[in-house]
């Protein structure tokens, strides 16, 4: 099950919309997991708090490549499993940065699962919940998956360039 966070005020929690938070950080390129978590969570809170939302569950993968399918990332896989649980404790999920969550066509693979279980997916780039029937939202999220895929390729190409340069210097 997910990590359940303490709710600051029980009275406000009864009226608040409850969210799960999904994030991811790779340590391949020396990112600081704590700083990345705080930044993504802060960005998520900025989106949902004006709508009365609170984060009650965390799903944050550390050291998992965005190119891995959600079912192979431990926390993302747990989120997918928890969506099926009617007692999951939240009715929406917020993602602080879609480029960290989605790679290639992953959005098109997981959004139907959210829609099937009636769980909204919120992202800052849309300004709130994604409409699963909106072609514009689908296009925006597909672009983020493509950008993410391109970013990984650039990082991979840059890494190979460093290796090649090192080999040339040491030969």
CATH number at residue 52: 3.40.50.1390
Within a 10 A sphere around the Cβ of 90, how many other Cβ atoms? 23
- Domain containing 165 equals 3-170
Percent of the chain with pLDDT over 70: 71
**3-state per-residue secondary structure call for the chain:** CCEECCCCCHHHHHHCEEEEEEEEECCCCCCCHHHHHHHHHHHHHHHHHHHCEEEEEEEEEECCCCCCCHHHCHHHHHHHHHHCCCCCCCCEEEECCHHHHCCCCHHHHHHHHHHHCCCEEEECCCCEECCCCCHHHHHHHHHHHHHHHHHHHHHHHHHHHHHHHHHHHHC
The structural domain count of the chain equals: 1
Choose between 152 and 85: higher pLDDT.
85
Choose between 72 and 26: higher pLDDT.
72
pLDDT number for residue 150: 52
Quick: pLDDT tens for 96-124: 988 888 887 888 899 999 999 999 999 99
* Tokens representing residue 3 in the block: 């990590």
What's the predicted TM-score (pTM) here?
A: 0.76
Across residues 31-52, what is the average pLDDT? 94
């Amino acid at each position: 099950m997910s990590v359940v966070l303490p709710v600051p005020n029980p009275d406000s929690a009864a009226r608040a919309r409850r969210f799960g938070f999904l994030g991811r950080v790779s340590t391949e390129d020396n990112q600081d997991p704590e700083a990345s978590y705080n930044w993504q969570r802060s960005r998520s809170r900025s989106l949902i708090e004006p709508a009365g939302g609170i984060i009650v569950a965390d799903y944050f993968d550390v050291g998992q490549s965005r190119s891995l399918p959600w079912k192979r990332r431990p926390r993302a896989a747990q989120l997918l499993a928890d969506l099926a649980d009617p007692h999951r404790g939240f009715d929406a999920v917020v993602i602080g940065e879609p480029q960290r969550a989605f790679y290639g066509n992953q959005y098109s693979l997981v959004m139907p699962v959210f829609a099937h279980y009636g769980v909204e997916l919120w992202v800052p780039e849309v300004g709130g919940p994604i409409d699963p029937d909106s072609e514009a939202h689908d296009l925006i999220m597909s672009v983020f998956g493509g950008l993410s895929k391109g970013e990984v390729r650039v990082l991979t190409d840059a890494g190979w360039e460093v290796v090649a340069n090192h080999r040339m210097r040491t030969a």
